[in-house]
Chain A
Amino acid sequence: MPINYYIFLSVTLFCIGVTGVLTRRNAIIIFMCIELMLNAVNLLLIAFSKMHHLALAAVDANAGINAQIFVFFIMVVAAAEVSVGLAIIVMMYRNTHSVDVNFLNRLKH
């Protein structure tokens, strides 16, 4: 399968993520969109590593494994980030009884 498909797919996913972050006001949905962007990048990393080391794969089963390990790191970090982020959202809900980000505009002061 040519690499273009993967690239198109991950670009599409990334753009959906960006659009979601920009347009939605619900903090949880924004959060999910961020995850979407992360996963788009992960997908791209895996695809590139596989394609790039295709010639070596016959000789060395471990060729291109670096990128895959890298993806695992991203997943772990993202999971940690999700836990922090959700904790923030919970605190936000407790304080304002809402998860609308536009409600939090006190940064300008």
Chain B
Amino acid sequence: MSDLLLVRDLRVRYPLDGGMASILKRNRRAYVDVVHGVSLNIKRGETLAVVGESGSGKTTLAMALCGLVPLSGGEVYFDGKILATGKDGCLRPDRRRIALMFQDPVGSLSPRMTVRKLLAEPFRIHKGLSDDPDRSALDLLSMVGLGTDFADRYPHQLSGGQARRVGVARALALKPDLLIADEPTAGLDVSVQGEVLNLLADLQQEMGLGIMLITHNLNIVRHVARQMSIMYLGRFLEQGLSELIFSHPRHPYTAALLAANPSPDPDATPQRVKLTGEVPSLLQRPTGCEFHTRCPRVQADCRESFPGRQSDGGDQTWNCFHAIV
């Protein structure tokens, strides 16, 4: 099957102008590379999880794909066709077909609109998709498991989980082909988290939706995403089938990340891979492999160049000279 979304060597850099410091220190680079050459693909009906800590560039990647921040390089194909960029450098995707679910559930809903209005809004913008926006809004509401009595509530009258559901309904209103969900379960407790993820899984099955799930919660990735990518300082360090990566991580960062995930068993003795040092600042991106400053397997060549993509022929690739065998 062909890819729904294919991204090749995507780059996003933010300018650093405006500050006194950047004017005074003329030798300083005037930008930060937030997404530094990312390639990925998502098939219809499949979920790709992008895992990485805050600041690794996950959200910027999502925003770039939705055309909210300008690209500085790379190509994006959607449903076989290349996406054009506008004058401002942003992608011009068909917004009806790519939907974004933002991180903050209440903050992404207008506080002055009722749930009914919020859900009818997409239909008012994209005319011709629904004869009766209000009717469609109520249908959406029942699709995400909320009763009609929610239609006249304002966002502040919703709990975190309910606001997420409205977010899901809004994102799926126009029957998109691809959903980009930015931390859809951050701040939710395990039971509500399960509800939201089950809802996404059901809708995915029904609508054949491709999902890009951005998260730093490793526990959910194993269950909901067939594919995963590990992001560190704007680059993917390891990609492939979640099953393979969880059972046999090849990149030292992935291994450390998986080992660090605390187990809910009080008797478990953690087998930690010890990482030393700090996450480097994007302003001073390390040469070579970005992870070398913290890597337990570091050698001289890691400091010189970034390792190319390696694989053993299976559905797992990694960027490391000295991968775990």
B partners with A: no
